[in-house]
Amino acid sequence: MKTILIVLDSVGVGALPDAGEYDPEPGNTLGNIAGAVGGLTMPFMESLGLGKVTEVKGLRQDLAALGAYGKMASQTKGKDTTAGHWEIAGLLLDKPLPTFPEGFPDDFILDYQEAIGRLTLGNVVASGTEIIERLGAVHMETGYPIIYTSADSVFQLAAHEEVVPLHQLYQWCETARNLLKDDLGVGRVIARPFIGKPGNFTRTANRHDYSLRPIGPTVLEGLAAAGKQVLAVGKIKDIYAGYGITGHRPTVSNADGIAATFQMLDQLQDGLIFTNLVDFDMIYGHRNNPQGYGQALEEADRLLAPLAKRCEEEGVMLMITADHGNDPTTADTDHNREYVPILACGGGLKKGVELGTRETFADIAATLAERHQISWSGPGKSFYSLIKE
């Protein structure tokens, strides 16, 4: 049995009822992008029923859907990558992972500087591109790494690849991960290497995430324990700290992620390919770029269509969803608390099935468990029986 699960990182489809507790301005990522760019052309996901999930300018709502379609609410606490992905895998948080809007505590910074043997710069909330432009030159002169965070539960460490070798930056991130526990236990420690000269710095593809170990069982671990393959594409392995992952491949772009998914299908005998397409969030959402975001959506739609055709031919189930929102039309650059789409198609599955509004992202975990016939006592309700022929 083969399944592909693709996360369109941050492609939310409208504010959740509790969005006001999380967002300064409620988001509607997909709908607002479509409005900002004058409409989207996404014939593949439109054919599955995406236009029926929420109003999206350019996508028809009156087409007979060729897949199953719906949206999912979040029952976990938080709106970041870790919280969203953990919920997809059946792990709910009863409180959000910690954030540090005033920077990390002074005593932690002193302990960290002692541990890595040098001073640090920053320790502020900032965007990644802005902070390296502001502090990059000083970093190059001193060799001190740049610490920054955001509205998400992250500790980010930036360094120039010609000043701090990658292995050193990664080691410093591992040190931070070991120190950031309990009340300081952020979801992710992220290495953010860059290159270039002052006034023209560029972040590289050598980013690496060091995630908090999942605090409870996930369906990925259940699949792996049952002898199934769990092949991770993109940052999936990092998000789950490697737990429940049997193979992985890093990626440098959405297009590369889709190509890698295609290639890994040749390796998949029994189990799951789990792919994250991060460009939507990292490059466009956090930079308030609806035009670029819209173009990336249309590109992904074109590239996913051949994958869906292969899934239909080979009896593979393809599911497409998201982990949170990141509306680039709102004033801030942070994630949004939103519903996410759920689309499903493939060989052996019914067409035109309305899945409605699911209560939790964990319905995906329950669905994976039922399809792959493994025990699952976690949250979520499977929709597999609704869509299998």
Question: Both 238 and 146 in a single domain?
Answer: no
Beta-carbon contacts of residue 110 (< 8 Å; ≥ 6 apart): none
Residue 100 in any domain: the answer is: no
For the chain, how many structural domains are there in total? 2
Distance CA 74, CA 363 (A): 10
Distance CA 84, CA 14 (A): 15
Residue 309 in any domain: the answer is: yes
CATH number of the domain where residue 198 is located: 3.30.70.1250
Our measurement of the distance from residue 69's CA atom to the centroid of its chain's CA atoms, rounded to an integer in Å, reads: 20
Distance CA 135, CA 121 (A): 8
The average pLDDT across 313-322 equals 98
Tallying the residues shown for the chain, one arrives at: 389
pTM to 2 decimal places: 0.90
Question: Both 195 and 225 in a single domain?
Answer: no
151 has a pLDDT exceeding 90: no
Distance CA 374, CA 376 (A): 6
Last residue of a domain, one of 165, 186, 211: 211
CATH number of the domain where residue 327 is located: 3.40.720.10
Confidence label for 72 from pLDDT (cuts 50, 70 and 90) = very high
Our measurement of the distance from residue 113's CA atom to the centroid of its chain's CA atoms, rounded to an integer in Å, reads: 30
* pLDDT score at 380: 98
Residue pair 187/212 in contact (Cβ under 8 Å)? The answer is yes
Last residue of a domain, one of 172, 188, 211: 211
Residue pair 326/50 in contact (Cβ under 8 Å)? The answer is no
Residue pair 238/211 in contact (Cβ under 8 Å)? The answer is yes
Residue pair 321/341 in contact (Cβ under 8 Å)? The answer is yes
Distance CA 374, CA 352 (A): 27
Specify the DSSP class assigned to residue 364: H
Residue 9 in any domain: the answer is: yes
Question: Both 88 and 233 in a single domain?
Answer: yes
Three-state secondary structure along 256-295? Answer: HHHHHHHHHHCCCCCEEEEEEECHHHHHHHCCCCHHHHHH
163 has a pLDDT exceeding 90: yes
> Phi/psi at 179 (nearest 5 deg)?
-85, -25
Question: Both 74 and 189 in a single domain?
Answer: no
224 has a pLDDT exceeding 90: yes
Question: Both 253 and 342 in a single domain?
Answer: yes
Question: Both 261 and 164 in a single domain?
Answer: no
The residue segments making up the domain with residue 145 are 106-211
* pLDDT score at 90: 98
Question: In Å, how far are 33, 210, 252, 262, 338 from 27, measured between CA atoms?
Answer: 10, 28, 27, 32, 7
Residue pair 206/172 in contact (Cβ under 8 Å)? The answer is no
Confidence label for 213 from pLDDT (cuts 50, 70 and 90) = very high
β-pairing verdict for 317-321 and 2-8: parallel
Beta pairing partners, 193: 159
Q: What pLDDT, in 10s, does the model give residues 279-309?
A: 999 999 999 999 999 999 999 999 999 999 9
Distance CA 288, CA 379 (A): 34
243 has a pLDDT exceeding 90: yes
Last residue of a domain, one of 153, 182, 211: 211
| 232 three-class SS | strand
| CA dihedral of 227, 229, 230, 231, whole degrees rounded to 10 | 160
* pLDDT score at 274: 98
Residue pair 201/133 in contact (Cβ under 8 Å)? The answer is yes
Our measurement of the distance from residue 76's CA atom to the centroid of its chain's CA atoms, rounded to an integer in Å, reads: 15
Nearest to 91, CA basis, from 181, 182, 221: 221
Question: Both 218 and 203 in a single domain?
Answer: no
Give the CA count within 13 Å in the CB-facing half-sphere of 171. 8
205 has a pLDDT exceeding 90: no
Distance CA 84, CA 273 (A): 18
